[in-house]
Structure 1
Amino acid sequence: MTKTILTFGDSNTYGTPPAHARGENRRFGPETRWPTVMLSELGEGWALIEDGLPGRTTSRADPVMGAHMDGQLGLRIALESQGPIDLLTIMLGTNDLKTHHGASVDQVVAGLAGLVGIARSEPYQTRHNGFDILLIAPAVVLEQGTYRDGLLGAQTKSRDLPFAIAQLADHWGLPFLDAGMHIRPSPVDGLHFEAQDHITLGRAIAAKVASL
C-alpha cells in the first residue's frame, strides 16, 4: 500500500535557489528539490504532495506579501484539499525571523505549536485516517547577501530555534530533525539552499522517514 507524504513549508520546501537579486522567481527542478530527492530515496511505496510557499510563516500574515502567508491558514487548506496523507512534514520558522515580523524564538515555536495543534486535531486526523508529523528545524539564517536588510537579528535567533523546536517535538512525542545539522544556506542571500544542499537534505530526511 502506498504511503503519502505532505511536505509543508516555505521557499526552502518549494525549491527556491539562492537569489542574486530581489524579485527573482526561480525553482530547482525535481531532480534537485529536497522533497523529490527524499521521494526518490524512499523508493517504491511512497507518494508525495509538495506544498512549499515562498514567504510562508508559522502563523503570521505578511504586511508585504499578503495574509495568505499565514501557515495556519495554509495548513488547513492543504489538509482539506489533499489526501489522505500518512505523514506531514513541517519545516517553517525562517520567515518569522524577518525584521518586520519581530518574532522571538518563543513566538516562532508558539506558531509551530499552533500548526501541530491543527494537524493533530480530531477532525483532520479523522479526515485522513490518522497521520504522523515530522518537525524539521530550519537551517540557521545568515545576515548577509541579497536579503540582509530584512534579517536584523535573525541569525542569532535562528541558532536558538532548533533546540526550542526539539523541545516542542519532545513535548508532543513527535519525531524531529535539525536541517542545520546537515546543511547551511548560501551566503549569496543568507536564506536559500544550493542544489547540493537540497540533495543532502533530501537524503537525510528520507533516512529519518524510513526509520519512523
Structure 2
Amino acid sequence: MEQILIYGDSLTWGIIPNTRNRLAFDKRWPGVLENSLKAQGRNLRVIENCLNGRRTTWSDPFKDGRDGSQGLAQLMEICSPLKLVILMLGTNDFQSSHQNTAWMSAQGTAKLVQVIRQAPIEPGMPLPEILIVAPPVILAPRGVIANKFTGAETRSIGLADELEKIAQQQSTLFFDAGRVTEASLIDGIHLDEDQHRTLGEAIAGFVAGKSII
C-alpha cells in the first residue's frame, strides 16, 4: 500500500465557510482524492495533516503552532514511507497580521520542500515525490473572517505564478487549484462542498496521469 501525506490548512481540513464545522472525510478533497484513486484500482492511503490557520513559515501572533516549517521533519519520520507529499499552503500567509507578498509566501513553500527533503527518515526509505498545489485565488474576504483577511485579495496576487516558479526551481510537481475551482463566494477564502469534490477529482487525475501511485 502506498501512502500520500497531505500537508495543509483549513482549505484542506474542510472547514465549512462562515462556520466552525467540518466536512466529512469523503466530502473534503483529500477523501475525494483517495476514493477516486482507489476506484481506479490504486492501493493507497491518504494521511491528512491539516491545521486551521497554518502558515508556510510564519507564526500566528494569537495561536501557537501555526508555523508550518516547525515539526514537518518529524512528521516525515512519523508517516514514512511516503510515496507523495502534497503541499497546499499559503492562504494564511496573507492574514492581516502579516504584510507578505506572493513572492515571500512562495519562498515559505520552498523552505518546506527543503525540510521534507532533509528530514531524518529511516535509512533506506525513499524520499517522496512532492506536489505543490497553489490554493484558489483569494476573493474579497467576507463574513466572520473578513477582518482576519483584510487586503489579502490584493497582497496574494500572483501566488500561483510564484509557486510554479518554486516548483520548477525545486524540481517538484505543480498543480494550480485555481484552474479548476474558485474560492467560496460565501467567505472568499475556503471551499464549498462541490468545490472540494472538483478539486479532489482534478488532483486525482493529475496524480494518476503522472503515474506516481
Structure 1 and Structure 2 fold alike (TM over 0.5): yes
Q: Deviations over 1:188-209 (max 9, x none)?
A: 2111100000000000110111
Deviation at 1:123, TM superposition (A): 2.8
> Scaled by the length of structure 2, what TM-score is found?
0.91
Question: Partner letter of residue 170 of structure 1?
Answer: Q
Deviation at 1:172, TM superposition (A): 1.3
How far apart, in 2, do the equivalents of 1:113 and 1:200 lie? 26
Deviation at 1:142, TM superposition (A): 1.5
Is structure 2 residue 34 aligned with structure 1 residue 36?
Answer: no
Deviation at 1:126, TM superposition (A): 4.7
Question: 2:128 maps to which residue?
Answer: 131
- Secondary structure at the aligned position of 2:147 is classed as helix
Question: 1:159 maps to which residue?
Answer: 157
1:83 touches 1:128 (CA, 8 Å); kept in 2? yes
The total of aligned residue pairs comes to 206
Q: Deviations over 1:154-207 (max 9, x none)?
A: 112333000000011011111100001111111221111000000000001101
> Scaled by the length of structure 1, what TM-score is found?
0.91
Question: 2:169 maps to which residue?
Answer: 171
Question: 1:27 maps to which residue?
Answer: 22
How far apart, in 2, do the equivalents of 1:169 and 1:160 lie? 14
How far apart, in 1, do the equivalents of 2:156 and 2:76 lie? 28
How far apart, in 1, do the equivalents of 2:28 and 2:122 lie? 28
Question: Partner letter of residue 88 of structure 2?
Answer: M
How far apart, in 2, do the equivalents of 1:115 and 1:144 lie? 27
Is structure 2 residue 91 aligned with structure 1 residue 91?
Answer: no
Which 4+ stretches in 1 moved above 3 angstroms? 124-128
How far apart, in 2, do the equivalents of 1:126 and 1:208 lie? 30
Task: Tell me the C-alpha RMSD between the 2 structures.
Answer: 1.6
Q: Deviations over 1:91-137 (max 9, x none)?
A: 00000011102111121111111100011126348574221000000
Counting only pairs closer than 5 Å after superposition, residues 1-212 of structure 1 correspond to structure 2 as 2-19=1-18, 24-43=19-38, 44-66=42-64, 68-121=65-118, 123-124=120-121, 126=123, 128-146=125-143, 147-212=145-210
Deviation at 1:211, TM superposition (A): 1.7
Identity of aligned residues (%): 34
Question: Partner letter of residue 22 of structure 2?
Answer: R
Q: Deviations over 1:54-90 (max 9, x none)?
A: 1000001100122x10000142232132222110000
How far apart, in 1, do the equivalents of 2:36 and 2:53 lie? 27
Task: Give the stretch that moved more between structures: 119-128 or 159-168.
Answer: 119-128
